[in-house]
Amino acid sequence: MRPRRSDQPLTRFAPAKVNLSLQVLGKREDGFHELHTLMAPLSWGDRLRWTPVSAIPKATDRGEQEFSFRLHPPAACHDGFSEIGVEEDNLVTRAARLLADAAGVVAHGRIDLWKHTRPQAGLGGGSSDAAAALLLLNKAWGLGFTKPRLATLAARLGSDVPFFLAGSPAVCTGRGERVRAIGGLPALHLVVSQPHEGVPTADAFAELARQNGNGDPIEAEERTRRLLNALRAGRLRAFAERTVNSLQGAAAALVRSIGDTLDRLAWAGCVGQWMTGSGSACVGLAVNAAHARAIEGIMKAENNNNTFVTTTR
């Protein structure tokens, strides 16, 4: 039976992610890079709400437009956040339009996005918002699209978007859109710190091409297998010593403060630290929640204010 269209507002959490490892295997003919990456969603992220026009008290949004979009930036945002944020958040309206077109529906209402993930952080904020929009509106509009059908739409929105549909840790290959869910991983306690300056994804890959990074898929699979074994056995130090991010050197060459942030996380007492995705956010691994909070305090005392604690889910 087809699910019913909701006439009430619906809300959905859009988790950020970290890359626990990221291996770039080479450049493809379509211009994208072949990846082998272990990613995990976080218990920290954005929130999205759909309000159908019938549930908006004064339906000022009723009109030609099918849906309107409102961004709610964090209260304490630094310069440029909302400006860049709005641009990236267009992924939400693109996702909504793509889904409406695929389903052949016209839906009037408003999409609100409470944004915490900063753009150009490597935390997948825009991609997660887009995936959450597909899942939320699929439900709100009573479409009943299956996950594989949504995944086809997701891949058209960005390489990372299909990962967020799965909602669990996963090994992602291809340009990132082939997702293999991974079970049995313990929740990791992390401290995430983003330098003021972000890294545009395309720039990090372009810089890597200059540095000529290539890898073997069999070796990449083997490295990921060892990393997963270490995590499952709780051998955090072994994991931290072996993990890699092929884009880290390239991104650090573009944004000098990435190196400083990694040094500071090490100095603050992390078990290990690395950059997530194409940066510029850096991740520090802690042994437990109290350890993570202590590291966060040290980072903030050193003026790394854009720092927070979180766990993988």
Listed as own residue / partner, the contacts of 59-68 with beta carbons closer than 8 Å and 24 or more positions apart are 61/108, 61/109, 61/110, 62/108, 66/97, 66/100, 66/106, 66/107, 66/108, 67/93, 67/96, 67/107, 67/108, 67/109, 67/110, 67/111, 68/110, 68/111
202 binds ligand C5P (CB under 6 A): yes
What is the signed CA dihedral for 262, 161, 13, 3, rounded to 10 degrees? -170
Catalytic-labelled residue, pool 27, 139, 160, 203:
160
Binding mask 14-33 for ligand C5P (x = CB under 6 A): ------------------xx
**How far apart are CB 60 and ligand C5P at their closest, in Å?**
33
**How far apart are CB 236 and ligand C5P at their closest, in Å?**
28
308 binds ligand C5P (CB under 6 A): no
205 binds ligand C5P (CB under 6 A): yes
Q: How far apart are alpha carbons 163 and 186 in whole angstroms? A: 19
122 binds ligand C5P (CB under 6 A): no
246 binds ligand C5P (CB under 6 A): no
State which of residues 158, 277, 279, 284 lies at the interface with ligand C5P (CB under 6 A): 158
Q: State yes or no: is 17 an active-site residue.
A: yes
128 binds ligand C5P (CB under 6 A): no
- List, in order, residues 6 or more apart from 53 with CB less than 8 Å away: 59, 61, 62, 108, 109, 110
**How far apart are CB 204 and ligand C5P at their closest, in Å?**
8
State which of residues 52, 162, 169, 176 lies at the interface with ligand C5P (CB under 6 A): 176
Contact 151, 162 (CB under 8 A): yes
- The residues pairing with 72 across neighbouring beta strands, listed in sequence order, are 114
228 binds ligand C5P (CB under 6 A): no
Q: Which of residues 31-60 bind ligand C5P (CB under 6 A)?
A: 32-33, 35
Q: With H, G, I as helix, E, B as strand and everything else as coil, classify residue 171.
A: strand
Bond preceding residue 82 cis, omega within 30 of 0 = no
# binding residues, ligand C5P (CB under 6 A): 11
| Token pair in block for residue 91 | 């992924």
- Quick one: which segment of 15-23, 98-106, 200-208, 248-256 binds ligand C5P (CB under 6 A)? 200-208
**How far apart are CB 126 and ligand C5P at their closest, in Å?**
8
| Token pair in block for residue 213 | 């990074």
> In this structure, what DSSP letter does residue 270 have?
-
Residues labelled catalytic: 17, 160
* Binding residues for ligand C5P (CB under 6 A): 32-33, 35, 158-160, 175-176, 201-202, 205
